[in-house]
Amino acid sequence: MSSVQYVYSFGGGSADGRADMKNLLGGKGANLAEMANLGIPVPAGFTLTTEVCTSYYENARNYPSELGAQVDAALARVEEIMGAKFGDPVEPLLVSVRSGARSSMPGMMETVLNVGLCSATIPGLIAKTGNPRFVYDAYRRLIMMYSDVVMEKAAGIEPAEGQGIRQQLDRMLEKVKHSGGFATDADIPEGELKQLVERFKAKVREVLGTDFPDDPREQLWGGIGAVFQSWNGRRAVSYRRIEGIPDEWGTAVNVQAMVFGNMGDTSATGVAFTRNPATGDSRFYGEWLPNAQGEDVVAGIRTPNPLNEATKNDQNQHLPSLETAMPEVYRELHAIRDRLERHYTDMQDIEFTIQDGRLWMLQTRTGKRTGTAALNMAMDMLAEGLIDDRTAVMRVKPAQLDELLHPLVDPAAEKRAKPLAKGLPAGPGGAVGKVVFSAAEAVAWTKRGETVLLVREETNPEDVEGMRAAVGILTGRGGMTSHAALVARGWGKCCIVGAGALDIDVVGKTIQADGKVLREGDVLTLNGTRGLVYEGALPMIDATENPRFQEFMKLADAIRVMKVRTNADTPDDALNAIGFGAEGIGLFRTEHMFYGKGSEQPLFILRKMIMAGSEAERRAALDELFPFVKRDMKATMEVMGERPVTIRLLDPPLHEFVPQGDEERAKLAAALGITADELDRRAEELHETNPMMGHRGVRLGVTYPEISEMQFRAILEAAHELRTEGKACFPEIMVPVTGMKAELDHQKAIATRIHAELCSKYGVDAIAHLYGTMIEIPRAALTADEIARTCEFFSFGTNDLTQMTFGFSRDDIGGFLGDYLDKKILPVDPFQVIDRDSVGVLIEIAIEKGRGARPKLKVGICGEHGGEPSSVEFCHLAGMDYVSCSPFRVPIARLAAAQAQIEHPRE
């Protein structure tokens, strides 16, 4: 009989699993197996697969029937390797029960240490170690974690704020420390601990109504069940939403022999990164604590010690490094660091424990890093020969570039300002915001449109939503591996941790520092790159052109096959976009000249044109408008030089420009020589019930050919003038809102006539340009073969195309999109990420039909999607020639296009 393997063993120099089995074993389990296979010292253990989790939830929270026997067999193997027995009174084996999802969810899921300690095994462990203090310390930790994770959370008990069992026990522990005058947990003597565990057990019974289990097997299965339950805990679910991790993935459970960092001064525990995850600096970087267990470092209970001398900072300068305290172990650890980096060819985030001078590895995973670090590591590892060009290009996520281009605190202003406090630089860039003291407030204030900084003594997984909402995070405690630092780094969010000089009182909502008191709503500036906190708002600047960034982008540019253009309407935007690497303009909106700075005069003339009562009046207004339009187009084309510029004909419904104020209306009526009533009547005529689908785009040009005529003339004259001035320019005329070929033919006839007229006027054969259309109406996509007979290029207007395909109003979707995402009716906002199943299919049909009719048809996209990485990948797959996006997203699109080519090579 063959049965499914639900349990995979590791340890003793070999393992059933491997690093590439993350889907089945979770990240932690797969990497523990890999390290065991590499011969790195890993305490033996076994992994219950993610399939157990899936099956558990599919079968009303019951385990597969084979599981019990497989766990027994794996446990027996661990016992053999470790030379101890689970539940044995003489040689007791203790284990940890650890969660481990496919992709890491720091602190979101549960882990229980020291499972197997009970009245039967305590005396044996004391006799074996001769260290009763250690045993009672381990026991009190077990009670604290187990009652919290298994007896409360997994049981679905929702205690009142501050009344969780863990918090109640924590307060009892604090009290013992306080009344006995013990500085840290590690200073509490045996006698006190022994009494404390008895009081802990009484408290658990009192609060939760059940006894703390004294049977090792019950503890083990309780722990396993709790980890599976924690997959559907509130925090884990909310983290998955933010990170886009599917609910179906499930978690694995790792059961692993305990090793103890809390056995005295020759024992320790630590967390390290093979390189600095904040800056990318290639030196080994980490934190450790003597006589401590696992989570003490991450929890920010004590300020951890630095790993080595070279990476000490202001906060931990005075503390001993592992390098000096335990030189031999440090050397061994350093060798493992080198080994892991060579093996994984990437930066690793590792956990280790030293038990009585002996080193054990407890975890390795590819470390999260800031965008700056990602860039620096990619370029360093390329130079070191650890990785090749393509791998380097894959190492920076397009979204991380955003962070590299993010604002920084103006160094000049910073020089003059005096910092209020200094902490650790845990998340990059600068942030200015109002102080709030809880995650809930951070969310609420942000909803109201405020920009906030979340200030906490330390953060925990319950705070993630508030951390997300805030523009920056500041904590008083914790090191570079604390929860806040880990999460902020993953998101590339500005963050400072361990600013110890700040006295933060989250209940009273004050920060005291330097004799000052700051309150909720007061403004601070954070420099997350340097760890400096300032009072008030300091000015910010754009990240300066970093040569490393340029080099990296050059690598990406050499790989990609799609061009990247920008959507720009002014010479300034165009220049900015060229700085970001734009290779053309994919969308120049003429109507832009009627909004904002300097628009008063042309807008007034445009209004006269709109309100004209006859063609003659309209033509007179258009003649007046013409020089403005030509000047505007010419200025942007001039900046772009030899890069193509796609100029879209006037698109919006005309009524959008009708003045609303009485005074403006009176002025306009006077200029037109009509009465106010007559003007009101004409304005009323323009009113449409559904203007988004009304008289706009090409439809205006069909009704009023003279409007198109004026624009064709402006574009072609501007182009001719630039060329006679000896400048290059390549206009592409784009007709919007097209649904049928006949519309394009109608407009093309006008363009052809104007072109001929100008050629004879200037005595030239031709004024080079392209004639094309936006594809933003499903009918246009479906009849693209026809349309391509008239057009030399297509540009997909995916904003409108999405609106028309879904029947979702772009302007009103906000009212219900949240419900659709929460209820998983939509996986993502289709206005941000192209819906490949519908809009994507229309695009594919249009490209296939279009190129069928005109093989050289040029194809691009100019909707918002053109700067969104997954949509850029789609455009690559669909065979587009270019994407176009806002100037700031140009680098993101360049990188996304390169990564798409690496993953799906084209031509």
- Asked if 427 and 493 touch (Cβ cutoff 8 Å), the reply is yes
Q: Which stretch binds ligand ADP (CB under 6 A): 107-115, 117-125, 549-557, 828-836?
A: 107-115
Residues 348-377 close enough to bind Mg ion by CB under 5 A = 363
Torsion angles phi and psi, residue 811, rounded to 5: -85, -15
CA separation (Å) from 683 to 236, 619, 638? Answer: 55, 19, 37
Question: Is residue 351 close enough to count as binding ligand ADP by CB under 6 A?
Answer: yes
Q: Which stretch binds ligand ADP (CB under 6 A): 106-114, 179-187, 408-416, 456-464?
A: 106-114
How large is the greatest C-alpha to C-alpha distance in the chain, in angstroms?
107
Closest by CA position to 30, among listed 364, 369, 257, 368: 364
Residue nearest to ligand ADP (CB): 294
* Nearest residue (CB) to ligand ADP, 230 versus 805: 230
- Asked if 97 and 227 touch (Cβ cutoff 8 Å), the reply is yes
* Nearest residue (CB) to Mg ion, 722 versus 861: 861
Question: Is residue 871 close enough to count as binding ligand ADP by CB under 6 A?
Answer: no
Closest by CA position to 260, among listed 360, 327, 187, 123: 360
* Nearest residue (CB) to ligand ADP, 7 versus 872: 7
* Nearest residue (CB) to ligand ADP, 111 versus 121: 111
Among 66, 192, 215, 295, binds ligand ADP (CB under 6 A): 295
Tell me, rounded to whole angstroms, the distance of Cα 558 from its chain centroid: 26
The one of ligand ADP, Mg ion, none whose footprint includes residue 286, by CB under 5 to 8 A per kind, is: none
Catalytic residue among 862, 865, 875, 876: 862
Among 277, 398, 772, 797, binds Mg ion (CB under 5 A): 797
Number of residues that bind Mg ion (CB under 5 A): 4
Question: Is residue 107 close enough to count as binding ligand ADP by CB under 6 A?
Answer: yes
695 is catalytic: no
* Nearest residue (CB) to ligand ADP, 42 versus 577: 42
Residue 435, helix vs strand vs coil? strand
Number of residues that bind ligand ADP (CB under 6 A): 16
Helices (H), 359-423: 371-383, 389-394, 398-404, 411-416
608 CB contacts (<8 Å, ≥6 apart)?
Answer: 617, 621, 624, 668, 671, 672
Q: Which amino acid is residue 229, in one-letter code?
A: Q
Question: Is residue 864 close enough to count as binding Mg ion by CB under 5 A?
Answer: no
Among 113, 165, 499, 621, binds ligand ADP (CB under 6 A): 113
Among 148, 800, 835, 868, binds Mg ion (CB under 5 A): 800
* Nearest residue (CB) to Mg ion, 378 versus 804: 804
Question: Is residue 110 close enough to count as binding Mg ion by CB under 5 A?
Answer: no
Question: Is residue 294 close enough to count as binding ligand ADP by CB under 6 A?
Answer: yes
* Nearest residue (CB) to ligand ADP, 88 versus 295: 295
Residues 361-400 close enough to bind ligand ADP by CB under 6 A = 362-363
CA separation (Å) from 567 to 333, 401, 733, 862? Answer: 51, 19, 14, 7
DSSP 120: T
414 CB contacts (<8 Å, ≥6 apart)?
Answer: 527, 532, 534, 538
- Asked if 289 and 269 touch (Cβ cutoff 8 Å), the reply is yes
Helices (H), 763-904: 778-782, 784-790, 798-806, 814-822, 839-853, 869-877, 890-903
Give every strand in the sheet of 45-48, ordered side by side: 14-15, 7-11, 45-48, 251-257, 95-101, 111-115
Min dist. Cβ of residue 67 to Mg ion (A)? 24
Q: Which stretch binds ligand ADP (CB under 6 A): 105-113, 202-210, 709-717, 881-889?
A: 105-113
Residues 246-265 close enough to bind ligand ADP by CB under 6 A = 256-259
* Nearest residue (CB) to ligand ADP, 96 versus 315: 96
x-or-dash pattern for ligand ADP, window 36-75, by CB under 6 A? Answer: -------x--------------------------------
CA distance 825 to 846: 27
The one of Mg ion, ligand ADP, none whose footprint includes residue 797, by CB under 5 to 8 A per kind, is: Mg ion
- Asked if 584 and 646 touch (Cβ cutoff 8 Å), the reply is yes
Tell me, rounded to whole angstroms, the distance of Cα 664 from its chain centroid: 46
- Directed axis angle between helix 50-58 and helix 22-37, to 10°? 150
483 is catalytic: yes
Closest by CA position to 148, among listed 195, 110, 198, 107: 110
The one of Mg ion, ligand ADP, none whose footprint includes residue 419, by CB under 5 to 8 A per kind, is: none
Among 22, 77, 85, 98, binds ligand ADP (CB under 6 A): 98
Catalytic residue among 406, 483, 755, 769: 483
Catalytically active residues are 483, 862
The residues that touch ligand ADP, with contacts defined as CB under 6 A, are 43, 96, 98, 107, 111, 113, 256-259, 294-295, 351, 353, 362-363
The residues that touch Mg ion, with contacts defined as CB under 5 A, are 363, 776, 797, 800
